[in-house]
Homo-oligomer: A and B are copies of this chain.
């Protein structure tokens, strides 16, 4: 006669619980910032015991990393669903998501109010050179299609796009209320400015538009896949 014991838990439930914990953490960090958000708070808001959280992640930082990766994946999936067909639309969708997601915005801007002591840590872009590399490859394809300026390094174009997004997002925050433009307009301006700076002077040949759309879709597939794998690592599954 064997003891009944507790039956193994459904892995799907485990995953659901992990997400519930991340949901709680996301809300708390957005509201109180990283430093003031304790594991106890997260556990209470997620309706689990503190020890349970450590069944999912070894440290607080790993929980936070998982949260960021989930958010990043969600953002990229959302962008992909919009199915942007040009570089400009892609940047516009990315910017729109950045504006709408406090956590991603905080990461992009290095907002110490939210990130607390993690502010000076590794930049997100440096953290995953793969994502940067994917974007550079994408730019190379665009160049072949005559969609971006051909005679300057892709690395530089990446810097330009980054600077434009950063500049608009940041200055917006520290602007008097009266001078702020609506979100939609801001996003339009970012996309337009970045595209003008990086794009070829003239419109790409009409015949290329299909190839460009395909390249864009493929780029998004690639980065979504990368983000998905990173997240999987962080969820221990």
Q: Which residues of A contact B (CB under 8 A)?
A: 110, 123, 126, 155-156, 159-160, 162-168, 170-172, 174-176, 179, 181, 185, 189, 192-193, 196-197
Contacts and interface: CB of A to CB of B under 8 A. Distances in A.
27 contacts: A110-B174, A123-B174, A126-B176, A155-B179, A159-B171, A159-B175, A159-B179, A159-B181, A160-B193, A162-B171, A163-B167, A163-B168, A163-B170, A163-B171, A163-B172, A163-B193, A165-B167, A166-B167, A167-B170, A167-B171, A170-B170, A189-B197, A193-B193, A193-B196, A193-B197, A196-B197, A197-B197
For this chain, the copies found in one complex come to: 2
Chain A at the B interface: SS class: helix
Contacts of A160: 189, 193
Given A156-B181, A167-B170, A196-B196, 20 more contacts: A110-B174, A123-B174, A126-B176, A155-B179, A156-B189, A159-B171, A159-B179, A160-B189, A160-B193, A162-B171, A163-B167, A163-B168, A163-B172, A163-B193, A165-B167, A166-B167, A166-B171, A192-B197, A193-B196, A197-B197
